[in-house]
């Protein structure tokens, strides 16, 4: 018979490790890759998906695979079918990395950076702090604590004669080096505001935008750089924010966070209790609070970039009514036993659609291993005349710290010219 093995074969089915039960998988410390060194195990796990590793190496029950399928959604935008096992270890409990033969340092690293260290409004306060440092009249206060509740004075952002001006509701559509005998002498920028186009000139420009758009803003770029900038496909995300009248039902159930494999929203959670300055988190279950819901639309089984594109198409095609129904249905079914009524207790629903969300992160399953310095994000961010390029895309990771590092690099490029 095709594919049959003799009973004496070392790979005969009767000699394979039996499938692990849920209890055994979580409790036992088993080396699923015996006979390999740590480096050999790491190399093996870079080239196989976490889903395939769980199925082939650990031989876990199919329900365990289903349970973990959406674990990486919030961080990587795809499930364990498209994430390399080595990276996917971040999303497994403490016992499993050791079982797969890799040190527990992966999970320890993840847990060392507690998400509780964040502004209540996320990165919005980071941007507000930057604006206030550039234009002090834009907001009262002087500390990171008082920026949370500070009211921005938008009239101060774009005053004639000011050394720094920020023009809101303006979209750049063109960036071009102005040359004299082949040497860049300045930059011409065109932007659109309220349906009208405007032209400005500067000594230098930094395009700190979605890198894939830069070839359209600056078509004179060399072809190789245009292709590098176009390589990375953004990760689509949907964040729902739901204001509820009180969180008594969650208190009654003893729930603050829920992972919902197979559901429309894979995560539902209350934010960490962060208080800063005059902002105080809700301390009583009889007070209002916000719930965060996460959906990462993707296409399991397809290559990672195809999954991102499919998710983007879903975001564009989905009506708000669909999201509203899914929110009410999900929360109602989850918390009804605690006394929650979605029609009585939901005060407001906000859906943030990010068709072009997180910066693309390279995958050892789908991307080549380029020589250091030859990665698309490095080639793409090269200075072109007097135009520098920044954004988290230029660092190849969807992290605020990466975006800040790339902004600093771009500014240093400008400062190095001495002009």
Write down the pLDDT at residue 97: 46
Tens digits of per-residue pLDDT, 373-409?
999 999 999 999 999 999 999 999 999 999 999 999 9
In the block, tokens 């186009």 appear at: 197
Residues whose CB falls within 8 Å of the CB of residue 396, separated by 6 or more in sequence, listed in order: 232, 359, 360, 361, 362, 375, 377, 378, 402
pLDDT of residue 2: 34
**pLDDT < 70: residue spans in the chain:** 1-29, 93-116, 419
Work out the mean pLDDT of the chain and round it to a whole number: 88
254-302 per-position pLDDT tens digit: 999 999 999 999 999 998 888 899 999 888 999 999 999 999 999 999 9
Domains by residue range for the chain, with CATH: 16-112 (no CATH), 124-232+364-416 (3.50.50.60), 235-358 (3.90.660)
- In the numeric block, the tokens 């364990």 are attached to 80
Supply 93's token pair.
């409990």
Burial of 81 (0-12, 13-18, 19+ CB in 10 A): buried
Mention every residue, 6+ apart, whose C-beta is less than 8 A from residue 57: 32, 33, 85, 100
pLDDT score at 3: 35
């Amino acid at each position: 018979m095709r594919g049959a093995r003799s009973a004496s074969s070392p790979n005969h089915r009767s000699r394979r490790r039996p499938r692990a039960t849920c209890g055994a998988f979580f409790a036992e410390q088993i080396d699923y890759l015996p006979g390999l060194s740590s480096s050999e195990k790491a190399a093996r796990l870079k080239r196989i998906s976490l889903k395939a590793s769980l199925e082939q190496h650990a031989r876990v029950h199919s329900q365990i695979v289903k349970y973990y399928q959406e674990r990486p959604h919030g961080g990587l935008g795809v499930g364990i079918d498209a994430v390399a096992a080595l990276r996917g270890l971040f999303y497994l409990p403490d016992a499993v990395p050791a079982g797969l033969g890799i040190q527990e340092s992966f999970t320890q690293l993840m847990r060392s950076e507690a998400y509780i260290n964040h502004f209540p409004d996320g990165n919005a306060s980071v941007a507000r702090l930057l604006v206030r440092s550039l234009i002090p009249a834009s907001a009262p206060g002087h500390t990171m604590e008082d920026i949370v509740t500070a009211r921005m004075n938008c009239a101060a952002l774009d005053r004639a004669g000011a050394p720094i001006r920020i023009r809101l509701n303006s979209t750049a559509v063109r960036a071009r080096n102005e040359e004299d005998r082949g040497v860049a002498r300045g930059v011409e920028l065109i932007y659109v505001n309220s349906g009208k186009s405007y032209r400005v000139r500067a000594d230098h420009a930094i395009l700190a935008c979605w890198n894939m758009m830069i070839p359209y803003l600056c078509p004179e770029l060399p072809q190789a750089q245009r292709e590098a900038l176009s390589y990375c496909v953004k990760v689509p995300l949907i964040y729902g924010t739901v204001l509820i009248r009180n969180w008594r039902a969650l208190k009654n159930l003893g729930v603050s966070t829920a992972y919902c494999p197979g559901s429309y929203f894979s995560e539902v959670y209350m934010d960490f209790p962060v208080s800063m300055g005059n902002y105080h988190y809700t301390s009583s279950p009889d007070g209002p609070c916000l719930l965060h819901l996460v959906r990462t639309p993707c296409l399991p089984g397809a290559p990672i970039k195809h999954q991102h594109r499919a998710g983007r198409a879903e975001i564009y095609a989905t009506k708000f009514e669909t999201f509203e129904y899914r929110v009410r249905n999900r929360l109602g079914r989850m918390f009804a036993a605690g006394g929650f009524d979605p029609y009585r207790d939901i005060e407001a629903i906000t859906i943030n659609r990010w068709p072009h969300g997180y910066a693309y992160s390279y995958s050892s399953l789908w991307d080549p291993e380029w020589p250091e310095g030859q990665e698309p994000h490095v080639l793409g961010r090269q200075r072109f005349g007097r135009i520098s390029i920044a954004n988290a895309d230029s660092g190849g990771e969807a992290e605020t710290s990466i975006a800040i590092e790339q902004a600093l690099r771009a500014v240093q490029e400008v400062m190095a010219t001495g002009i």
